[in-house]
Structure 1
Amino acid sequence: MPRKKVIRKERGVFEKVPGSEIWWIRYYVDGREHREKVGRQSDAVDLYRIRRADALRGAKMPANMKNKGVKFEEIGKHALEWYIEHGRKDVKNFRIRMNIILKDFGHRVAEEIKPSEIDAWLKKYDWSPATKNCYKNVFGKTFKIAFADGKVSGNPARLVEQRPEKNARLRFLSAEEEAKIREAIDLRCPRHMPELDIALNTGMRKSEQYSLEWGQVSFRRKRILLDETKNGSSREIPMNKTCVKAFEELHADRPHEGRIFQSKYGRDLNDSRAWFDRVVEDAKVSNFTWHALRHTFISRLVMAGVDLRTAQELAGHKTISMTVRYAHLAPEHNQAAIEKLDPKIR
């Protein structure tokens, strides 16, 4: 069993009610005692060290935290500024979710927001578990940044239970559905066919594909370089013949600088929404989104006998656990593995 993390005792950190697991800090400035309610012991230790260091260097200490009155709107806007300054790729989604949260919590004093209130707020929306977890993470990151700046004394979002996400069903495209979608593209917008081919043969995320520029595509090496992925790291994607042909068609038609994928008016496309949703509707393919093309890419790799470790690398999954979700598509691999235990016939 893993050892339980032991937190070193600090002189000014204490439980006001023993066993309550609600920790306080006590420190002195100019002979005057200050007390602050924090929450978790580790958070209390961190805040105590910050307060003690501030006192030693003569920094102005905060007033009674209960009366400080920092609104959630203030720390929310500060968190958004932090995301922009640090160049976070998910800043657009963070801003959208933050604006929704601020409608209900912006006027509230941040210190007075309880974990139960965040949990109740998430419950009232008919969102998927994954979406609720995303909003919980916005709360958590906002309080974490504010805590580091000494604006709050704890992070209530850390005590909100993570919703279990059910990823049992992976939607991928059948050969018949693909034929219908291709037919619909031919009729409505044939110039977008290369985009479909590239998606099905690289498995790139939508944001990765639609931010591509020609400098990232090497026809000589048959490689696509993604400078920064969802995981924050760069990776190379090999191109097969179908993918190379699709890019060659695009380059012959649009050998311009900047984004590869453009509309018929020559404007950069940020995603496929303008045409793909209509095509899927025309093809009468139900419950299918652009992201399912990525599932199709990985599913077809596994069904073609590609091992999971290679599939993980090609998909750009950070952990193998993400790729293992597709393992059921290749049951013959399990059969072949177990048969290796049979004694060899001499």
Structure 2
Amino acid sequence: MRKLLPGEKIVERGITFERLRNGDGLFTVNVMIDGLRIHRVVGRESDGTTRTQAEEFIARLRTDAKHDRLSLPKGRKIALSFRDAASKYLEKLELEGGKDIKSKRMRLNRHLVPFFGDTPLSKISGFDVERYKKLRQQEKSARGGDRVSTKAKERGAQPVKSARTTTAGTINRELAALSHVFSKAVEWGWLAHRPAKISRLKEGDGRIMYLTVAQVAKLIEAAKASDSAHLYPFIVVAVETSMRMSEILSIRRENVDVERRAIYIPKAKAGRREQPITAHLAAFMKDYIEALPPGTPWLFPSAAAKSGHTVDIRKPFIKAVVAAGLDPALVVRHTLRHTAITHLVQAGIDLPTVKRISGHKTLAMVERYAHQNGEHIQAAMDTLQTRLKLG
């Protein structure tokens, strides 16, 4: 395989290895199992995929077929449950190099799998989906009110006190994960067609919560006094870049280039990208990195975390929000991203540039931020008036 030139390939026992133009290697399989031809991309050499993994993938396909897990059109004896489908879905999605797998796994394991459980994937109806939506909406609470998880509620558990709420946006993202399971199940031959239609919830009036300059200053002061050594740098990075929480907490020191004022993000939601940073943040990062323990690859290391870095900062963040005199039911970690993007728009930065900074997939997603107090819009109209020499 190492001797192959770009464009050349080797095919053996249903496994194809192709040397791509960029020098990377691609493993695919093309086999007949129980009368059904299965052609799948296993993975790229640069992602660590090996021939052994391709062989193991074929072995799993044969095992699945033996236990009627592929929903083959003939001889199916065991219905594929949603629980098993979710597990297989995540496994195959990783092999295909799917996006946002961490979030999909969280939504499936925390809410969707506990609800749909052993229900056959092909038997999930529109009524089941609506019942799920209703149950999740019932978890909405008043500020500081009662909340109980979907899984606990199904068991009849009593609610516990919490300031968190289940928003329409949160439920819609869970429904999007469910919809993707349906789509992939059809693509992979588990289902002949999607079992149910999924309609999304209306997400309010479209307004986005963001912090004023004064509120940002109060929150930063509260973060400086926090017991968490990671909270202050996390907030500084968030409000000066608009990066997502997962992107910030998984920054490696090798991916920070203070001279070029950029942070490389290998696994962003919309694909890998380079995040520009301010001169202030570049200087801050230089000092912060120098103060890290020697040999630590992460900017937010955590010996207790399986990943080696901090994955959540919710508790100290809530304490700082309260200390800053803000409402923790409204100001969440993602609010910092909204804040940075909103202030960019209000400062008169053109939307394509804002899109480049925020890492959004489309301009339509950025246009949502051109909505807030309208000062930047009024300033634009004043500019037009002056240019036309009116009034």
The bucket for the TM-score relative to the shorter chain is: 0.7 to 0.9
CA deviation vs aligned residue, 1:58-77 (integer Å, no higher than 9, x gap): x9963377x76333333222
The residue type paired with residue 253 of structure 1 is A
* Secondary structure of the structure 1 residue equivalent to 2:136: coil
Correspondence for 1:153: 192
Correspondence for 1:310: 353
The residue type paired with residue 121 of structure 1 is Y
Structure 1 residues 238 and 77, CA gap change in structure 2 (3 angstroms): closer
Q: How does 1:1-346 map to 2 (within 5 A)?
A: 54=36, 62-63=73-74, 69-88=79-98, 90-99=100-109, 100-126=111-137, 127-157=166-196, 159-166=197-204, 168-189=206-227, 191-192=229-230, 193-231=232-270, 233-254=271-292, 256-262=295-301, 268-286=309-327, 287-328=330-371, 329=374, 330-332=376-378, 334-335=380-381, 339=385, 342=388
Q: Identity over the aligned pairs, expressed in percent?
A: 27
Query: What is the CA-CA distance between 1:338 and the residue it aligns to?
Result: 5.4
Stretch moving more, 207-216 or 178-187: 178-187
CA deviation vs aligned residue, 1:48-104 (integer Å, no higher than 9, x gap): xxxxx849xxx9963377x76333333222112223333445333323332333334
C-alpha contact 2:182 2:194 (8 A) present in aligned 1: yes
Correspondence for 1:47: none
Give the distance between the partners of 1:316 and 1:271, measured in 2 at CA.
21
Query: What is the CA-CA distance between 1:320 and the residue it aligns to?
Result: 0.9
The residue type paired with residue 326 of structure 1 is Y
Give the distance between the partners of 1:176 and 1:334, measured in 2 at CA.
24
* Secondary structure of the structure 1 residue equivalent to 2:207: coil
The residue type paired with residue 74 of structure 1 is D
CA deviation vs aligned residue, 1:135-185 (integer Å, no higher than 9, x gap): 22232222223223332221124x222223236222222233223223322
The residue type paired with residue 169 of structure 2 is A
Give the distance between the partners of 2:208 and 2:239, measured in 1 at CA.
15
Give the distance between the partners of 2:361 and 2:81, measured in 1 at CA.
36
Query: What is the CA-CA distance between 1:340 and the residue it aligns to?
Result: 8.8
Q: Which runs of 5+ in 1 are unaligned?
A: 1-52
Query: What is the CA-CA distance between 1:335 and the residue it aligns to?
Result: 1.2
The residue type paired with residue 346 of structure 2 is M
Give the distance between the partners of 1:309 and 1:336, measured in 2 at CA.
23
C-alpha contact 1:216 1:224 (8 A) present in aligned 2: yes
Stretch moving more, 198-207 or 75-84: 75-84
CA deviation vs aligned residue, 1:101-154 (integer Å, no higher than 9, x gap): 333423223222222321232222214222222222232222223223332221
The residue type paired with residue 235 of structure 1 is R
C-alpha contact 2:93 2:101 (8 A) present in aligned 1: yes
Structure 1 residues 85 and 74, CA gap change in structure 2 (3 angstroms): same
Give the distance between the partners of 2:282 and 2:242, measured in 1 at CA.
14
C-alpha contact 1:98 1:138 (8 A) present in aligned 2: yes
C-alpha contact 1:147 1:155 (8 A) present in aligned 2: yes
What is the number of equivalent residue pairs in this alignment?
Answer: 288
Give the distance between the partners of 2:200 and 2:287, measured in 1 at CA.
46
Structure 1 residues 327 and 249, CA gap change in structure 2 (3 angstroms): same
Larger Rg belongs to: 1
Give the distance between the partners of 1:264 and 1:104, measured in 2 at CA.
33
C-alpha contact 1:227 1:235 (8 A) present in aligned 2: yes
CA deviation vs aligned residue, 1:206-252 (integer Å, no higher than 9, x gap): 11111111111112212111122101x22222222210121012112
The residue type paired with residue 288 of structure 1 is V
C-alpha contact 1:172 1:296 (8 A) present in aligned 2: yes
Query: What is the CA-CA distance between 1:262 and the residue it aligns to?
Result: 3.1
Q: Which runs of 5+ in 2 are unaligned?
A: 1-34, 38-64, 67-71, 138-165
C-alpha contact 2:228 2:316 (8 A) present in aligned 1: no
Higher helix share: 1
The residue type paired with residue 298 of structure 2 is R
Give the distance between the partners of 1:165 and 1:116, measured in 2 at CA.
21
Structure 1 residues 188 and 162, CA gap change in structure 2 (3 angstroms): closer
